[in-house]
Amino acid sequence: MSSTESEVLSQAFELGFTYTRSTGPVVGRFLTELRDRKVVGNKASDGTVYVPPMEFDPRTAEEITEFVEVAETGVVKTWSWIAEPQSKHLLQQPFAFALVQLDGSDVPMLHMVDAGSIDKMKTGMKVKVRWAETTRGHVTDINCFEPA
Amino acid sequence: MSEEKEMITGMEAPMYLTYNFTAGGATTRFLAELRNGKLVGQECPKCQHVYIPPRGSCAACGVPTVREVELTNKATVQSFTIVYIPIPNNPIKPPYVIANLMADGAHQSFLHLISDVDNADVRIGMRVEAIWKAEEEWTHAMENIQYFRPLDEPDMPIDEIGRLKNA
């Protein structure tokens, strides 16, 4: 580019989507129970317990209607350390995104683990729910998991 | 479990994507001229197609569009739609007309508002002119033009809108 041309224009730009989504009866039930500091999943016909609950059985495509409460303790199945959280992350100190399988559930769910340092993280470690101070029926009612 | 309490039926899930938008060379030249109150397109040296807003090259010939062509404030309605549904945070009150406008001398249309006319009277081929904001409000934006309003000129025949003279 020739030196006589003006500098290329650039500008900060924020694209926002102000979504409100309906939750349906199954996810709605999960969130409603979270508001009461309980974690529920649901049980498919083969006995598999899904947390968060699923509307339909992924194997048979049947509706899943039987809700079950599971423990607020679980096991880290796999994890990824976030050494430098960004402003949009919900935890501002280093933390792990982890797949946590709650006791009583057969599938892990994605959430955050606040272990303090990467040395404390281990696949197979036991964790428990740290509840938000005020719960409102959102997945962030679980603030994160912490070592149990 | 608490059946008597109100069930959660919805959740807010806003999403914000923070970018640094870089205009690039051709768009920078276009926006710099808009800042000066000028509509400037770029012409293909091979097929003479005039692009506005320019993207820096000819889509058909694949060559750089280095020559700039200043266009007048006059344009023709190529197509239009009447918007009835309000868009959140958009200050324009429906119903309003958004049109694809072909500036005189250009072969590519751009979107803008049509105003100062009954929506029902807007039609394809209608001649319009740009109404600019006050000079002190000009920025690097198409919003420097408030809207387009009808000109007292006969309509342009549909098959002449945006056509190259000798094509």
Name the band, by pLDDT with cuts 50, 70 and 90, for residue B166.
low
pLDDT tops 50 at residue B57: yes
DSSP conformation letters of B110-141: EEEEE-SS-GGG--TT-EEEEEEPPGGG--SS
Report pLDDT digits (tens) over A82-104.
Answer: 999 998 899 999 999 999 999 99
Q: Do the beta carbons of residue A107 and residue A127 sit within 8 Å?
A: no
Q: Phi first, then psi: what are they for B135, rounded to 5°?
A: -55, -35
* Amino acid at position A50, single letter: Y
**Which residues of chain A have a CB within 8 Å of the CB of B2?**
32-33, 36
DSSP H or E segment with residue B81: strand B74-83
DSSP 3-state of A53: coil
Is residue A60 in a domain?
A: yes
- Contact status of B88 with chain A (Cβ, < 8 Å): yes
ipTM exceeds 0.95, yes or no: no
Is residue A102 in a domain?
A: yes
Report pLDDT digits (tens) over A102-118.
Answer: 999 999 999 999 999 99
Residue among B8, B9, B22 whose CB faces A8 most closely = B22
pLDDT at A92: 96
The chain A residue lying nearest B25, using CA atoms, is: A8
Query: b vs e for B25-61, b when ≥16 Cβ sit within 10 Å of the residue's Cβ?
Result: ebbbbbbbbbeeeebbbbbbeeeebbbbbbebbbeee
Q: Which two tokens stand for residue A60?
A: 């048979």
Q: Do the beta carbons of residue B127 and residue B76 sit within 8 Å?
A: yes
Q: Which two tokens stand for residue B27?
A: 């768009």
Q: What letter would DSSP give residue B158?
A: G
Name the band, by pLDDT with cuts 50, 70 and 90, for residue B64.
very high
Number of H helices, E strands in chain A: 1, 10
**Which residues of chain A have a CB within 8 Å of the CB of B11?**
20-21, 23, 31, 137-138
**How far is C-alpha A106 from the chain's CA centre?**
16
pLDDT at A18: 86
Is residue A3 in a domain?
A: no
Is residue A75 in a domain?
A: yes
Q: In the 3-class helix/strand/coil scheme, how is A8-48 assigned residue by residue?
A: CCEEEEEEEECCEEECHHHHHHHHHHHHCCCEEEEECCCCC
Query: Is the peptide bond prior to B64 cis by the omega test (within 30 degrees of 0)?
Result: no
Hey, are the CB atoms on B9 and A22 less than 8 Å from each other?
A: yes
Q: In the 3-class helix/strand/coil scheme, how is B10-41 assigned residue by residue?
A: EEECCEEEEEEEECCHHHHHHHHHHHCCCEEE
Q: Do the beta carbons of residue B47 and residue B58 sit within 8 Å?
A: yes
Range of the domain at A88: 24-147
In angstroms, what separates the C-alpha of A76 from chain B's closest C-alpha?
Answer: 26
Hey, are the CB atoms on B27 and A9 less than 8 Å from each other?
A: yes
In angstroms, what separates the C-alpha of B125 from chain A's closest C-alpha?
Answer: 35
Hey, are the CB atoms on A8 and B28 less than 8 Å from each other?
A: yes
Beta bridge partners of residue A99, listed in sequence order: A78, A110
Question: Which whole number is the average pLDDT over A14-18?
Answer: 89
Mutate which of B4, B9, B20 to test chain A, going by most A C-beta atoms within 10 A? B9
pLDDT at A61: 94
- Contact status of B10 with chain A (Cβ, < 8 Å): yes
Question: Which whole number is the average pLDDT over B61-69?
Answer: 95
Is residue A11 in a domain?
A: no
Is residue A85 in a domain?
A: yes
Please enumerate residues of A whose Cβ is less than 8 A from a Cβ of B: 1, 5-23, 28-29, 31-33, 35-36, 38, 40, 67, 69, 88, 137-138
Hey, are the CB atoms on A8 and B23 less than 8 Å from each other?
A: yes
Q: Count up the domains in chain A and report the number.
A: 1
Is residue A82 in a domain?
A: yes
Q: Compute the distance between CA of residue A57 and CA of residue A106 in angstroms, rounded to an integer.
A: 13
Is residue A17 in a domain?
A: no
Hey, are the CB atoms on B10 and A22 less than 8 Å from each other?
A: yes
Report pLDDT digits (tens) over B123-147.
Answer: 999 999 999 999 999 999 999 999 9
**Which residues of chain A have a CB within 8 Å of the CB of B17?**
14-16
Q: Compute the distance between CA of residue B163 and CA of residue B108 in angstroms, rounded to an integer.
A: 10
